[in-house]
Structure formats: C-alpha cells, structure tokens
Amino acid sequence: MSKIAIVTDTGTDLTPQQTAELGIHVVPLMVTFGTKTFPSSDLSIEDYWARVKAGGRPGTSQPPTGLYEQVYRQLVEAGQQVLCLAITSKHSGTFNSAWLAAQNFPGQVTVFDTLSLALAQAYQATTAARMAREGASMEAILQRLESIRARTHFVIALDTIESLRRGGRADQIIPVLERVVKVLSIKPLLEVRDGQLKLLAAARSREKSHRLIIDELAKHTPVEAAVVCHTRSADIAPAFAAALAARLGVPVESIPIAETGAILASHAGPGVMAAGVIQAER
C-alpha cells in the first residue's frame, strides 16, 4: 500500500475502472433535480440526460464536508498521508469543503487546488496516483502538480450559454457572453485561465469553433499530453480528436476522449466540445 493516498472529486470525469486501477478515492459532488439530490457518482450519463430531457433543471453543489472527513479518517487511520486534489476553487466550493475537513487532521491531509476540471483535472490526479504508487514523497508530487497546473491550457466551445447562466458559477462573464451571443449570434469559446473561465474568442458555427480550439492549443506545442471532452457529441468527438492530434503531432491513440458527467454537463449544456493540453516542460 502506498504511503500517500490520493483523493479527488467527480469533477475529473474519471471512470470507476480508472480510479480502481490507480487506487484513487473519489468524493462525489451533488446534483439536484427539484427536491431530489443525488451524489453525482450515482447518476450515469444516460440517466442524467434522460432527466434533463424529461424537463428536469439540474443544479450542483460541493460535497458536504462530512463526506471528506469520512474518507480522510479511513485513510489516516490506515496509516496513510492524504493528498486531495480539488476541482478549481474559482467556480466551486469543493476546495473549501475539502480544506475544512482537512483541518481535523493536522499534518496528515494536504489539499491541492488543481485550478482545472474534467480530464485536465484528471491528468493531475492520475499523475499523483502513479507517483504515489512509485513511492514519491509528498513534496515531489506537489512540485510535479504545480508544474502541470502551470502548463495546462484548456479551451471550451459552448453551443449555448443557457446552462452556464442557470448554473450561476460563471456570473462574472455572463453579461459579456449575453451581449456577444445576442448581437452576433455566435458560439463563444472559453478558456480556463488560472482556474477561471474567460471569454477567449467567438465563432459563427460549431465547426469554426472547433477549428479555433485546435488553433489555440497548437500554440502550446510540443505537448506532454492532450485530452478531449464533450457533451452529447460522441459522433464527432473522434474526428475532432484526430484533427487535434494531427496539429499537435501526437498519436491520436494518446488522446483520451470522454463525455463529461453530470456535474460539468449541468453548467455546460449539450453540444459542447472541449480540449486541453499540458505543454511539455522546456
């Protein structure tokens, strides 16, 4: 058993098989439909979209502090140090929940703000898990995570801003997006900059927005890794990944593709394409 246990949240979109293989412990964020609240890990992607199609309006919230306390206690009592990687604190209270719970375990639990989400966050979590399994120290893992975080570039093409507006987690940029979308009838591109969503560009079609993602990420070659995420776009995601791989000069097989789960889908809505790269160290 590794001396360091890795904990993260469902913002990573890692599958149960992936977390089991790497020994990653996952704390679920919450999804609400009306008066019913579910751990996001209990909602499959198809179940989530079936509820949305039936008229459900999803909301999300961070995990209760008590959930983190339960996971931390189990690991600490087993003699492990804990490193918890949280979805960006700029758009979620998850980091605060994780940090507050950690105060009950002084010197035993470290909480790291990934300033990221989806498969870009997952890359940090899986890297930490592999390093922990190989016997790396907490200091070495944190140094590596800080390096990855600084070299990550993530771009999102929205098909609509309705879910982002309703979710309330991007209020700072919603007025700008509303003006641009209303006046120009375009598809906005957002980048995750220092953990926060920022308006990057705009396109008049989905196809053009996808080309702009690739153009933007190609500025950061050579790359250590690349990822592709989407919502309800499984039919076109492989071709998008292939085009991205060609521009980056990497094998398409090296780029994981995932449909994002209930948490991020609640804010992104359908028809989203997103991709990220971790720029190679120089």
Q: What are the two backbone dihedrals, phi and then psi, of residue 82, each rounded to the nearest 5 degrees?
A: -120, 135
pLDDT of residue 180: 56
What fold, for 152-279?
A: Hypothetical Protein Tm841; Chain: A;domain 3 (3.30.1180)
Residue 5 predicted with pLDDT over 90: yes
pLDDT of residue 176: 54
pLDDT of residue 178: 55
Residue pLDDT, tens place only, 46-79: 999 999 999 999 999 999 999 999 999 999 999 9
pLDDT of residue 187: 85
Query: How would residue 171 be classed by pLDDT, with cut points 50, 70 and 90?
Result: low
d(CA 147, CA 152): 9
Nearest to 95 by CA among 107, 81, 110: 110
Residue 165 predicted with pLDDT over 80: no
Cα 227 to chain centroid distance, Å, stands at: 11
For strand 58-61 and strand 81-86, is the pairing parallel, antiparallel, or unpaired?
Answer: unpaired
Both tokens assigned to 29: 């964020």
Residue pLDDT, tens place only, 115-139: 999 999 999 999 999 999 999 999 9
Q: Where are the beta strands (DSSP E) in 194-239?
A: 196-203, 223-230
d(CA 1, CA 131): 13
Query: How would residue 160 be classed by pLDDT, with cut points 50, 70 and 90?
Result: low
For strand 81-86 and strand 109-113, is the pairing parallel, antiparallel, or unpaired?
Answer: parallel
Domain 4-28+63-149 = CATH 3.40.50.10170: yes
Contact 113, 194 (CB under 8 A): no
pLDDT of residue 186: 76
Residue 196 amino acid letter:
Q
Contact 224, 240 (CB under 8 A): no
Whole-prediction pTM: 0.90
Domain limits of the chain? 4-28+63-149, 152-279
